[in-house]
Amino acid sequence: MKKYACVLFDLDHTLWDYEANAEETLRELFARFRMEERGVTSFRFFHETFRRVNLDLWDRYDRGLIGQDVIRTERFTRVFYDTGVDDVRAALEFSARYLEELPLKKSLLPHAREILDYLHPRYPMTIVTNGFDEIQTTKIQSAGIGHYFRQVVTSQRAGSKKPSRKIFEFALRQSGHTPETAVMIGDNLQTDIAGADAAGIDTIFYNPAQTPHQARVTHEITTLEELRRLL
Please give the Cα distance from 91 to 98 (Å, whole number).
Answer: 10
Instruction: Write phi, then psi, for 8 (nearest 5 degrees).
Output: -110, 135
Q: Kindly identify the residues of this chain, within the stretch 181-220, that bind Mg ion according to CB under 5 A.
A: 187-188
Quote the CA–CA distance of 71 and 178 in Å, as a whole number: 34
CB of 40 to Mg ion, least distance (A): 28
Burial profile 149-158: b = 16 or more Cβ within 10 angstroms, e = fewer: beebbbbbbb
Nearest residue to Mg ion by CB is: 13
d(CA 191, CA 166): 12
For the chain, list the strands marked E by DSSP: 6-9, 125-129, 151-154, 182-186, 202-206, 219-221
Residue 14 vs 164, nearer CB to Mg ion: 14
x/- track of binding to Mg ion for residues 13-42 (CB under 5 A):
xx----------------------------
Of 77 and 129, which has the nearer Cβ to Mg ion?
A: 129
Number of amino acids touching Mg ion (CB under 5 A) = 6
Is residue 157 close enough to count as binding Mg ion by CB under 5 A?
no
Min separation Cβ 105 and Mg ion, Å: 16
- 125 in Cβ contact with 148 (< 8 Å): yes
Nearer to Mg ion, 98 or 205 (CB): 205
Give the shortest CB-12-to-Mg ion separation in angstroms.
4
Q: Which stretch binds Mg ion (CB under 5 A): 6-14, 30-38, 112-120, 161-169?
A: 6-14
Residues at the site binding Mg ion, with contacts judged by CB under 5 A: 10, 12-14, 187-188
